[in-house]
Amino acid sequence: MLTTRTRKRVTLKTVSITPMRPRPNPRTLLACLGLVLTQLVWTQASISEQRPLAGERVRLVVGFGAGGGYDVYARMLAPHLEQETGATVVVENWTGGGGVVALNRLATDDTEGLTLMLVNGPSAVMGQVLGNEGVRYDVSAFTWLGRVFAEPSVVLASPVSPYRSLADLTSADLPVRWASAGKTTTAGTPALVSQALKLRSEVIIGYKGTSESALAALRGEADLVAMSATSARAQAHKNGLVPIAVVSHERISLLPEVATVAEQINLTPSQNRWIDYGITVMGLGRSLATSEHVSPERREYLRRVVKNILTDTTVIREAAAQGRPIEFGPPSELLASINRALANENEPTRGELRHVILEKFNP
């Protein structure tokens, strides 16, 4: 009896439960699946839209050898680029021609922003303006992403020379001798300053880099040397070279006691344009660029990424601790400077620049 009841109950229970569970409707299931898939695709698309380089391999190129200043900067920035983009960032050294080979290759690159380059701005622009052999790029066509760091040049005098100010140079009886690695090193500061101040100068070329030029001044082999502000400060403190002028519109925090050219000499507009030109070119500093063959969306994305990294206080602090300062400059500013340096409106013409930098002070 009990068994029969139980059976009945069970049967009843079964009967009563079945209608409560809706039968899986294939249409509903399909709709749900579609919804989930759409959601997944939408989320994925949204992530891709936010980080379009995620999973890609990005090259960060430097035009100089491993271990040098540009290489170290690039290797410092690479992990931050990886973190920001989700891409694998590889630093590559495309050496040759003092950076010309790398710039030529960047100009023809069509990897849609997967090749970035840390460019020596002054050298790249001067190479084009002076029509150096081997130059096949156009700096104004590159997609500029931002300036990492720039600093003005400083004129230093040999401790054994009689010169301690620009006035001493302009009143010198003998020609003043500059030591330099190349004619366009530190954006041709020796020639530009000599031309602006109407100095009787001789620029001795051939030293292996700024350090050896500084040594030449230290020995008295040359009277003057020009170098970036950071190097100038180090040489002044380490080796006793005497900073006599900053080629800048205003004094700099690294050498606050050193007056600018304009503070020391009253320049006419025609003299001043040479100094202005030097300031503009040096202002290009170490900048990040990619090829011109990049879509507007990718360009804006890369610019956002670069700005995020170079304005991040943690990154700036970390870089400063390594002796590699960061001072972000927006692409618009860079482009304006490049166009000023190339177009030569109210600036020295290319012909004048070639004559002054390549010939006039190089006996």
Binding another protein (rule: CB under 8 A), the pick from 51, 69, 267, 327 is 69
175 binds another protein (CB under 8 A): no
Rounded CA separation 329/147 (Å)? 5
199 binds another protein (CB under 8 A): no
Residue 133 or 345: the one with the smaller Cβ distance to another protein is 133
Stretch that binds another protein, among 23-31, 175-183, 294-302, 304-312 (CB under 8 A): 175-183
Binding another protein (rule: CB under 8 A), the pick from 56, 168, 221, 333 is 221
Size of the site for another protein (CB under 8 A): 49
Residue 48 or 322: the one with the smaller Cβ distance to another protein is 322
Please check whether residue 52 is in contact with residue 114, taking contact to mean a CB–CB distance below 8 angstroms. no
347 binds another protein (CB under 8 A): no
Rounded CA separation 202/190 (Å)? 9
- Cα first-last separation, the chain: 126
Residue 207 or 274: the one with the smaller Cβ distance to another protein is 207
Residue 127 or 146: the one with the smaller Cβ distance to another protein is 127
204 binds another protein (CB under 8 A): yes
Radius of gyration of the chain (CA): 31
CA 279, 280, 281, 287 torsion: positive or negative?
Answer: positive
Q: Which amino acid is residue 54, in one-letter code?
A: A
Each residue 120-159 as x (binds another protein by CB under 8 A) or -, in order, gives ------------xxx-------------------------
Measure the CA dihedral 296/302/304/306, to 10°: -150
267 binds another protein (CB under 8 A): no
Closest separation in Å from C-beta 164 to another protein: 20
Each residue 272-311 as x (binds another protein by CB under 8 A) or -, in order, gives ----------------------------------------
Measure the CA dihedral 223/257/277/330, to 10°: 130
Closest separation in Å from C-beta 59 to another protein: 12
Binding another protein (rule: CB under 8 A), the pick from 86, 182, 325, 330 is 182
342 binds another protein (CB under 8 A): no
Binding another protein (rule: CB under 8 A), the pick from 111, 239, 271, 344 is 239
Residue 243 or 331: the one with the smaller Cβ distance to another protein is 243
79 binds another protein (CB under 8 A): no
240 binds another protein (CB under 8 A): yes
Residue among 139, 140, 145 at smallest CA distance from 127 = 139
Residues binding another protein (CB under 8 A):
65-69, 72, 75, 92-93, 95-98, 100-101, 104, 132-134, 177, 182-184, 202, 204-209, 211-212, 214-216, 218-219, 221-222, 234, 237-240, 321-323, 362-363
